[in-house]
Structure formats: structure tokens, C-alpha cells
Amino acid sequence: MSEETGQGEQAVELRGVVKEYRRDEFSVLALNNVDLDIPRNDFLALMGPSGSGKSTMLHLIAGIDRPTSGRLTVLGDDIGGMGEKELAAWRSENIGYIFQTFNLIPVLTALENVELPLLLTRLSKKQRLENAKTALDIVGLSDRLDHYPRQLSGGQEQRVAIARAIVTDPAIILADEPTGDLDAASAKEALNALALLNEQHGKTIVIVTHDPHAARYARKTRYLEKGDLLPEGQLPEDWFATTAPT
């Protein structure tokens, strides 16, 4: 748990956020009274051992899960109080999400995958395709528009996923282990793309990672341990014993 004071306009504010999962008679405390501010245009890496609550925190910020208690404000909206439909629309507008396993739709081409979030907007087909092409251009894949995911390398797939995450021009991009399934070269490509989005396009980026190399791309790294957000600069106990930097 950590107390933070907001610096300027915050993209994300967590106050006393608790997330408890119940499975049958068992209950697991995934996040324990977490306070956190993430300023706009920040690039934050969340690290910690497995089960420390990193992904849970990302899910809460993305609005795909709800806190058990506490207040969660993202881009000034109290998303904890939103209904399912309202939250879906909010997510579509404000959040770009990148998964470890890319999660592209296999029956759609790169262009169609990137166009997917735009189906929820009022844009015309032509505008949707233009925006999707632009997003693919930003991640350097304008020559792979009609390729299906199976025809792309892992790094290219992840860049398509990044293009899909940015195509709606969201303020926040969340990435859950974005380099977990990539080789070193592909991981570098993906992380460079994220850094570019943060530096040149002003996106607020939060990544969850086990990889210290990936974390180095972030401006700041915070650690979680057993549901607690450790104070800035503090690492989990035996962190170096469980993490083998390469």
C-alpha cells in the first residue's frame, strides 16, 4: 500500500482500492487497499511476482473488472459506478488494451483486426479503413494490411495488436505482458512502438511485465507484492532471487 499525492492532471487515480476474488469457499485478496496516481502522458511499468495483483490492477483500470471497494477514477470518470453498457462505451473510447498473446481474430486480416474497435463508432466504412491504415502505418505495418495473423511473425502480430489498441485514439494504453510471447528482437519492436506512442503521441501507457528490459522503457516502475503496491523505489523481498535479468 502506498500513499501518493497527485501531480497535475491525473489519468488514473486509485484510492483505497480493494479487489477480492471469491472462488467457492475460498477468497483471495488480489489488491489490498491500493492508492495510486498515474499522471497523464506517463509511461508506468507494473512489476511483481506472479499473483501479486498486477493484471488485476490493469483490469480495474481498463474497466473490465470492478473493485470490491475503494474509488477508481480514470480520466476523471468514476468508472466503478458505471453500468455495463456505459462502461463498454467508455472503454471503447478511452482505453487501448494490448494482450500478451496478441489475441487477434484469426479470420480477420491485419486491417480488419485493427478496424474492429471502430465498428463501435459512427465512422463510415471509408473512414474506418483510413484510420486503420494510419494506425498500421504508425506501427510500421502498412505493407501487411491484407495478411492474416497466421501469416505474420509474433512481433508483427503484437504490432497489429498495438495498432488495434491505438486506432480509436484512446488516452490510455494498457499492455498486459506485451513482450511475454516475443523474442528479444520482436519485443524491442513492440516496446519501441509503445515508447513512440508515449513520447510523440502523448499516450498514457501502463504495462505489466516480468521483464526488467521491458520495464526500462517506462519512465517509472512500481512493484506489487501479494496485493500490496510497494512504495516508490521499493522492490519485493527476494526479487532478485526470483527474477533473472537477461
Partner 1 sequence: MLRFVPLTFKNLLRNRRRTILTVASITMSLLLVGVLLSVYAAFYFRGGTEEEALRLIVRHRVSLAMELPQYYENRIRDVDGVETLTKFSWFGGKYKDNRPEEFFARFGVDPEQVFKVLSEVSIPEDQYQAWLRDRQGIAIGSSVVNRTGLKLGDRFTLVGDIYPIDLDVVVRAIFEGPEDNNSFFHWKYFEESLPENRRGEVGTFYIRVRSPDDVPRVAQAIDDMFRNSPQPTKTETERAFQLSFVSQMGNVKLFLLSIAGAVVFTILLVSGNTVAMSVRERIQEIGVLKTLGFTSSTVLSMIIGEAVLIAFVGGVLGTALTYLVTGLATEMLVGFFEGLIMPWWGVFFCLGVALLIGLISSIVPAIIAARTRVTDALRHAG
Question: Contact positions toward partner 1, by CB under 8 A?
Answer: 59, 62, 64-65, 84-85, 88-89, 91-93, 97, 99, 101, 103, 105-108, 112, 116-117, 119-120, 125, 164
Residue 115: φ, ψ to 5°:
-70, -25
The CA-to-CA distance between both ends of the chain, in Å, stands at 29
Write down the least CB distance from residue 59 to partner 1, Å.
5
Which is closer to partner 1, CB of 8 or CB of 122? 122
Which is closer to partner 1, CB of 33 or CB of 103? 103
CA angle 32, 33, 39 (to 5 degrees): 115
Please tell me the distance from the alpha carbon of residue 115 to that of residue 121, in angstroms, as a whole number: 10
Which is closer to partner 1, CB of 131 or CB of 221? 131
Residue 110 parent element (H or E): helix 110-115
Three-state DSSP state, 109: coil
Which is closer to partner 1, CB of 62 or CB of 132? 62
Which is closer to partner 1, CB of 4 or CB of 65? 65
Write down the least CB distance from residue 33 to partner 1, Å.
20
Which is closer to partner 1, CB of 119 or CB of 184? 119
Write down the least CB distance from residue 180 to partner 1, Å.
12
Burial 155-188 (b: 16+ CB within 10 A, else e): bbbbbbbbbbbbbbebbbbbbbbbbbbbeeebbb
User: Considering only CA atoms, which of 36, 71, 65, 50 is closest in space to residue 229?
Assistant: 36
Write down the least CB distance from residue 208 to partner 1, Å.
13
Q: How many residues in the chain?
A: 246
Strands of 26-39's sheet in order across:
26-39, 10-23, 69-74, 77-78
Write down the least CB distance from residue 65 to partner 1, Å.
5
Write down the least CB distance from residue 238 to partner 1, Å.
27
Write down the least CB distance from residue 220 to partner 1, Å.
25
Which is closer to partner 1, CB of 89 or CB of 184? 89
Query: Are 82 and 57 a contacting pair, CB within 8 Å?
Result: no
